[in-house]
């Protein structure tokens, strides 16, 4: 029996196309559903009738959690869970939840005002990274190398950002220019790649076109990923790690991860891994 899967997203990218193409190999009819077309709220969610599961891949920092919450309330099978998506959408909540669970994360401070920001700069000391609580793909992430620059940078946060955008994290800059992304499906790391910042851009992020290479599945990395999955529940995640002198720390967990770069670097067939996972869940 063919199962119908809705990929709920704001647009179709390379990853969504690959997931749609892989579906028939696993008895899945996968189709895109625009996350702006659902009008959820009705207790029976008529716009979702006929789907056996929803794979939520909204790139918005709020839509995914809202869609997943209302879909779950109507009885739909949702991946990832609404709780996991809400936690991943909010970097401050994610850091707090992982730290409470014993998963290592970078030191950080929440800055909701200039007073918060000044205190964070004083306590942590430059070089620092300022990043939005709600955001991704390396956007609006700023490296602050000295205290004089810090105050000028925060002028832009105050003057140009809406209240939603003014919630920021301040954290020490973990140098080296590299990060490791682990692509998780279910409980398993199906591919891991190291990204290195390109040219003069200090940020290491696959969305910015950084160079990448496959890395071995380090036992310390697998232990950390197990801790992340233990806290968020099994699902489909991009777990981003930084290496420090004291070991790896979790920088972010993406609930709708891009995986083209990891697939290219490692040769891992990630769409097939997702297809098998959905097949097993719906068996």
CATH at residue 214:
3.30.470.20
The span from the CA of 270 to the CA of 160, in Å, is 39
The reported pLDDT for the residue numbered 225 is 97
Comparing 98 with 178, the larger pLDDT belongs to 98
Residues 245 and 149 in one domain: no
On whether residue 121 sits in a domain, the answer given is yes
Last residue of a domain, one of 172, 204, 220: 172
Same domain, 160 and 185: no
The token pair at 65 is: 């959690």
Q: Domain boundary at 172, 201, 220, which?
A: 172
pLDDT digits (tens, 9 = 90+) for 126-137: 999 999 999 877
Report yes or no on 102 lying in a domain. Answer: no
Structural domains in the chain (count): 3
> Token pair of 231, please?
């806290």
Q: What is the pLDDT of residue 136?
A: 76
pLDDT at 203: 57
Residue 97 included in any domain: no
Indicate if 217 and 250 belong to the same structural domain. yes
| CATH code, domain carrying 10 | 3.40.50.20
Mean per-residue pLDDT, 257-273: 96
Q: Is 183 found in the same domain as 157?
A: no
Q: Let me know if residue 96 belongs to a domain.
A: no
Sorted by sequence, the CB contacts under 8 Å of residue 19 that are 6+ apart come out as 7, 30, 55, 271, 274, 275
Q: What are phi and psi of 205, to 5 degrees?
A: -155, 130
**pLDDT at residue 196 tops 90:** no
Q: Which residue has the tokens 């007073």?
A: 115
Q: Is 45 left (phi over 0), alpha (psi -120 to 50) or beta?
A: left
Q: Is residue 190 located within the same domain as residue 130?
A: no
pLDDT score, position 121: 96
78-79 sheet: strands from edge to edge: 28-34, 3-9, 53-56, 78-79
More confidently predicted of 68 and 61: 68
- pLDDT, tens only, 112-127: 999 999 999 999 999 9
Q: How confident is the model at residue 199 (pLDDT cuts 50, 70, 90)?
A: low
Q: 244 and 195, same structural domain?
A: yes
Asked if 132 and 197 sit in the same domain, the reply is: no
3-29 burial by CB neighbour count: b if 16+ within 10 A, else e? bebbbbbbeeeebbebbbebbeebebe
φ and ψ of 233, to 5 deg = 95, 155
Domain CATH for 146: 3.30.1490.20
The mean pLDDT value of the chain amounts to: 92
Report pLDDT digits (tens) over 206-253.
555 556 788 877 899 999 999 999 999 999 999 999 999 999 999 999
Domain that holds residue 63: 3-87
Q: Are residues 190 and 267 in the same domain?
A: yes
Among candidate residues 131, 154, 172, the one where a domain is terminated: 172
């Amino acid at each position: 029996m063919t199962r119908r899967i809705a990929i709920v997203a704001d647009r179709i990218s390379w990853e969504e196309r690959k997931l749609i193409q892989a579906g028939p190999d696993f008895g899945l009819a996968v189709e895109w559903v625009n996350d702006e077309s659902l009008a959820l709220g009705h207790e029976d969610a008529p716009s979702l009738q006929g789907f056996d599961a929803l794979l939520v891949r909204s790139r918005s920092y709020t839509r995914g959690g809202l869609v997943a919450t209302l879909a779950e309330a109507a009885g739909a099978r949702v991946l990832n869970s609404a709780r996991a998506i809400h936690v991943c959408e909010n970097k401050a909540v994610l850091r707090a939840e992982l730290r409470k669970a014993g998963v290592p994360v970078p030191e950080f401070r929440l800055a909701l005002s200039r007073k918060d920001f000044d205190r964070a700069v004083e306590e942590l000391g430059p070089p620092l990274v300022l990043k939005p609580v709600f955001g991704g793909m390396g956007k609006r992430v700023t490296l602050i190398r000295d205290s004089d620059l810090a105050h000028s940078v925060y002028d832009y946060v105050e003057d140009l950002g809406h209240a939603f955008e003014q919630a920021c994290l301040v954290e020490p800059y973990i140098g080296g220019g590299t990060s490791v992304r682990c692509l998780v499906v279910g409980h398993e790391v199906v591919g891991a790649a190291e990204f290195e910042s390109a040219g003069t851009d200090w940020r290491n992020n696959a969305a910015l076109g950084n160079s990448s290479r496959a890395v071995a599945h380090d036992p310390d990395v697998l232990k950390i990923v197990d801790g992340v999955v233990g806290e968020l529940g099994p699902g489909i995640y991009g777990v981003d790690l930084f290496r420090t002198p004291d070991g790896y720390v979790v920088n972010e967990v993406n609930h709708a991860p891009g995986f083209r770069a990891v697939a290219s670097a490692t040769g891992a067939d990630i769409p097939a891994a997702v297809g098998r996972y959905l097949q097993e869940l719906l068996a």
